[in-house]
């Protein structure tokens, strides 16, 4: 995982924290790249030697100030330094690269497509992007940056997973605490999804467990992806006073005790909630090219019938013939969750709106620039042109 720019670094940092907390082992190695020294210093979990400061000769560690063309230039000039950090990780052990960046700023917005292009040229592993769209209240320049970066990045990565800050914005919160909560949501959703592909030591491997190849196959074919998520708390054995607390023995005996119709219904309703609720990038799910359904939770709560029904329902809703499904047993969890990856979505009104606002911003910026050049000329030159410059 490579976090490019401030948002990218913070989100990758959060993935590492999630890994430590849950033992998910999603992140084989993490790198943070930035033009701003202070942002790199603010990270907590990414190792010091994996933090790369680029563009020092140009911006002296102070960032590119939301100029994504400068962000792209600096990334190109210093790509060798980023490669240096990647050289330190065992790439043959990773399933894929994931570049995370906020698309509205400068460093990540400009740098992520440059890095994606570079990695695609050098490695055979898939290169995915996780792009964060800005909130619509952030203003024209951020929207313009995001629209241009989005267009560039989609063409450089094997698949662009998108999270839209605008759809997740909360009112009445400070920007920082708002981002903390949003970043939790990002990590929760993508964590379940990417965690599903990891087989951990000591974990029982059921036949229907999702494998990383299924994630890769769902993402192959490229385009834009979004993720849906829903969860429900369930009682676990051993918890005080719980329904199952009196039961001893292993999970099979719990499974016997759980009403299988309930288990199936819970799964199908979680699948609906995930697909029809708030997606990381809100869109119409009809017309999705490929999808993957992951059901996570204690294995006693996951049954094949439920997953099969959920999968069929998703096929109907998306019209896709390529819907994969499987489970992700997490035996010490007290929840059942469904995560749905919708890959190759094309009916996304938010992107069209973003592009429209970006074009308006671009026109405005050009207009203002021309106008102020003329105004400055008027100010500096004397009316009758009687004065001469020194040289």
Nearest alpha carbon to residue 31 among 93, 81, 69? 81
Task: Specify the 3-state DSSP secondary structure of 269.
Answer: helix
Q: Does 132 bind ligand GDP (CB under 6 A)?
A: yes
278 DSSP 8-state letter: -
Q: How far is the CB of 390 from ligand GDP (least distance, A)?
A: 40
Q: How far is the CB of 47 from ligand GDP (least distance, A)?
A: 20
Q: How far is the CB of 138 from ligand GDP (least distance, A)?
A: 5
Listed ranges 4-12, 122-130, 229-237, 321-329: which one lies at the site for ligand GDP (CB under 6 A): 4-12
Q: How far is the CB of 129 from ligand GDP (least distance, A)?
A: 13
Listed ranges 97-105, 193-201, 277-285, 310-318: which one lies at the site for ligand GDP (CB under 6 A): 97-105
Q: Is residue 336 a contact partner of residue 264, using CB atoms and an 8 Å limit? A: no
Binding-site residues, in ranges, read 6-10, 106-108, 138, 165, 183
Q: Is residue 214 a contact partner of residue 290, using CB atoms and an 8 Å limit? A: no
Q: How far is the CB of 142 from ligand GDP (least distance, A)?
A: 5
Strands 335-343 and 224-233: antiparallel
Q: How far is the CB of 111 from ligand GDP (least distance, A)?
A: 7
Q: Which of 59, 115, 162, 182 binds ligand GDP (CB under 6 A)?
A: 182
Dist. CA 14–CA 23, nearest whole Å? 13
Listed ranges 2-10, 77-85, 148-156, 274-282: which one lies at the site for ligand GDP (CB under 6 A): 2-10
Q: Is residue 115 a contact partner of residue 79, using CB atoms and an 8 Å limit? A: yes
Q: Does 134 bind ligand GDP (CB under 6 A)?
A: yes
Q: Which residue reads 């890959």 in tokens?
A: 343
Dist. CA 25–CA 201, nearest whole Å? 11
Q: Does 143 bind ligand GDP (CB under 6 A)?
A: no
Q: How far is the CB of 178 from ligand GDP (least distance, A)?
A: 8
Dist. CA 30–CA 387, nearest whole Å? 61
User: Which CB atom, from 18 or from 142, has the smaller least distance to ligand GDP?
Assistant: 142
Q: Does 306 bind ligand GDP (CB under 6 A)?
A: no
Q: Which of 3, 55, 105, 310 binds ligand GDP (CB under 6 A)?
A: 105
Per-residue DSSP letters for 105-153?
SSHHHHHHHHHHHHHHHH-SS-EEEEEEEPPGGG-HHHHHHHHHHHHHH
239 exposed, middle or buried (CB, 10 Å; 0-12, 13-18, 19+)? Answer: exposed
Dist. CA 372–CA 369, nearest whole Å? 5
Q: Does 10 bind ligand GDP (CB under 6 A)?
A: yes
Listed ranges 1-9, 219-227, 287-295, 304-312: which one lies at the site for ligand GDP (CB under 6 A): 1-9
Q: Which of 1, 2, 3, 7 binds ligand GDP (CB under 6 A)?
A: 7
Q: Does 226 bind ligand GDP (CB under 6 A)?
A: no
Q: How far is the CB of 150 from ligand GDP (least distance, A)?
A: 12
> Which structure tokens are listed for 289?
């090219």
Q: Is 240 left (phi over 0), alpha (psi -120 to 50) or beta?
A: beta
Q: Does 149 bind ligand GDP (CB under 6 A)?
A: no
User: Which CB atom, from 105 or from 297, has the smaller least distance to ligand GDP?
Assistant: 105
Compute the radius of gyration of the chain from its Cα atoms.
24
Dist. CA 374–CA 53, nearest whole Å? 39
Q: Which residues lie near ligand GDP (CB under 6 A)?
A: 5-7, 10, 102, 104-109, 132, 134-135, 138, 142, 165, 179, 182-183
């Amino acid at each position: 995982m490579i976090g490019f720019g401030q948002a990218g670094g913070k989100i990758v940092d959060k993935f590492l924290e999630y890994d430590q907390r849950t033992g998910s082992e999603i992140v084989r190695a993490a790198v943070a790249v930035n033009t701003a020294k202070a942002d790199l210093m603010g990270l907590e979990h990414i190792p010091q030697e994996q933090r790369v400061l680029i563009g020092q000769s140009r911006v002296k560690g102070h960032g590119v100030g939301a100029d994504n063309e400068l962000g792209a230039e600096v990334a190109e000039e210093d790509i060798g330094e980023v490669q240096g950090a990647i050289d330190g990780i065992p790439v043959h052990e990773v399933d894929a690269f994931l570049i995370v960046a906020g698309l509205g700023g400068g460093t990540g917005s400009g740098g992520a497509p440059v890095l994606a292009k570079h990695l695609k040229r050098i490695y055979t592993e898939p290169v995915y992007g996780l792009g964060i769209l800005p909130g619509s209240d952030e203003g024209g320049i951020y929207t313009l940056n995001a629209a241009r970066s989005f267009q560039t990045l989609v063409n450089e990565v094997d698949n662009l997973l998108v999270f839209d800050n605008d759809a997740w914005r909360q009112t009445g919160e400070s920007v920082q605490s708002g981002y903390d909560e949003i970043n939790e949501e990002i990590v929760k959703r993508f964590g379940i999804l990417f965690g599903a592909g990891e087989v951990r030591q000591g974990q029982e491997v059921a036949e229907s467990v999702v494998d990383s190849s299924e994630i890769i196959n769902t993402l192959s074919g490229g385009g834009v992806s979004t993720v849906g998520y829903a969860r429900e708390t369930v009682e676990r054995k051993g918890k005080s006073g719980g329904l199952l607390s009196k039961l001893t023995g292993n999970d099979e005996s719990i499974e016997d005790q759980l009403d299988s119709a309930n288990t199936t219904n819970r799964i199908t309703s979680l699948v609906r909630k995930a697909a029809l609720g708030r997606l990381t990038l809100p869109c119409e799910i009809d017309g999705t090219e490929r999808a993957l359904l992951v059901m996570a939770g204690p294995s006693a709560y996951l049954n094949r019938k439920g997953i099969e029904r959920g999968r069929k329902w998703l096929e109907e809703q998306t019209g896709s013939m390529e819907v994969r499904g499987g489970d992700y047993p997490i035996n010490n969890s007290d929840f059942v969750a469904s995560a749905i990856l919708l890959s190759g979505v094309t009916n996304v009104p938010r992107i069209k709106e973003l592009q429209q606002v970006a074009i308006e911003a671009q026109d405005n910026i050009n207009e203002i620039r021309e106008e102020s050049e003329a105004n400055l000329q008027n100010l500096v030159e004397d009316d009758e042109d009687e004065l001469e410059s020194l040289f």
